Chain A
Amino acid sequence: KAGVTQTPRYLIKTRGQQVTLSCSPISGHRSVSWYQQTPGQGLQFLFEYFSETQRNKGNFPGRFSGRQFSNSRSEMNVSTLELGDSALYLCASSLSNRLTGTGELFFGEGSRLTVL
């Protein structure tokens, strides 16, 4: 079956602009989570959505937001971009079901954002 798809794969923005990244999870997966990776940092949790509701949020400023649609597709938005937002943004989906899922995350290939 198709994996997690993220678009766009690469993008360049300037400071002050905003950006929207999209993620299509594996069919049947209702949980979508987002992670940021910057040079020298591990994967940092941004937020998780399940059935269109934000279930958890990481320690990021309010400029970072997201949403999930009824088909489980998710978007994340970063407003008023700063240089430090340059990073690889990874989306992951999971079954999120104690009975049927192992809890493992299935990652997309990421969206690499460069802020100039």
Chain B
Amino acid sequence: ILNVEQSPQSLHVQEGDSTNFTCSFPSSNFYALHWYRWETAKSPEALFVMTLNGDEKKKGRISATLNTKEGYSYLYIKGSQPEDSATYLCARTHAGGTSYGKLTFGQGTILTVHP
């Protein structure tokens, strides 16, 4: 994998469903993996920043896991609510660590939660 890739591109779920998305990235020269939520007409907001293989992070109903050896991360949303509707972006920071501002983003997964 040369770039950051996210799947699926879009997802429609019913309120109360649990869902998950995938982020695949080059495993070489890995430093950190970010997840952001971007709601319409707002600015992207950081959900998680993960650096360690096997890392798991949780914020409310949202959690994420990281596998740096195989180059993937999963984002899970338990009991989706309409307010979870947003574009979810993952991005990686490259090794070197001196440049936190340079991220390579995936295309995003657009989540729509229907009431």
Task: In the complex, identify which listed stretch (B14-22, B42-50, B71-79) lies at the interface while the others stay far away.
Answer: B42-50
Q: In the complex the two chains form, is A109's CB within 8 Å of B43's CB?
A: yes
- In the complex, A76→B106 CA distance in Å? 23
Q: Which residue of A lies closest to B104 (CB)?
A: A45
Chain B 1-42, CB within 8 Å of chain A: the 1/0 string? 000100000000000000000000000000010101000011
B95 interfacial by beta-carbon distance below 8 Å: no
Question: Do A107 and B32 have beta carbons less than 8 Å apart?
Answer: no
CB of A110 within 8 A of CB of B100, answer no
Kindly state the separation between the CA atoms of A103 and B43 in the bound complex, as whole angstroms.
17
Within B82-103, the residues touching A (CB, 8 Å) are 89, 91, 93, 97-103
A102 within 8 A of B: yes
Q: CB distance A104 to B46 under 8 Å?
A: yes
List residues of chain B with CB within 8 A of the CB of A35: 105
Chain B minimum-CB-distance residue to A103: B100
**Which of A33, A41, A90, A109 is in CB contact (< 8 Å) with B102?**
A33
A55 within 8 Å of B (CB atoms): yes
Check if A105 sits within 8 Å of B99, measured CB to CB: no
Q: Are A109 and B104 in contact, with the CB atoms below 8 A?
A: no
Total contacting residues, chain A, CB less than 8 A: 32
Q: With A104-B49, A107-B44, A110-B43 in contact, do A55 and B99 touch (Cβ < 8 Å)?
A: yes
The answer to whether A109 and B42 have CB atoms under 8 Å apart is: yes
CA of A102 to CA of B34 in the docked complex: distance in angstroms?
10
CB-CB under 8 A for A43 and B89, given A90-B44, A104-B34, A105-B34 = yes
Residues B105 and A42 in contact, CB atoms below 8 Å apart: yes
Q: CA separation between A104 and B98, bound complex, in Å?
A: 13
Q: Which of B46, B89, B102 has the largest count of A CB atoms less than 10 A from its CB?
A: B102
25 A–B contacts, CB within 8 A, in A order: A31-B101, A32-B101, A42-B4, A42-B89, A42-B106, A43-B89, A43-B91, A43-B103, A44-B105, A45-B103, A55-B101, A56-B99, A56-B102, A58-B102, A95-B100, A98-B97, A101-B100, A103-B49, A103-B100, A104-B46, A105-B103, A107-B36, A107-B44, A108-B43, A110-B43
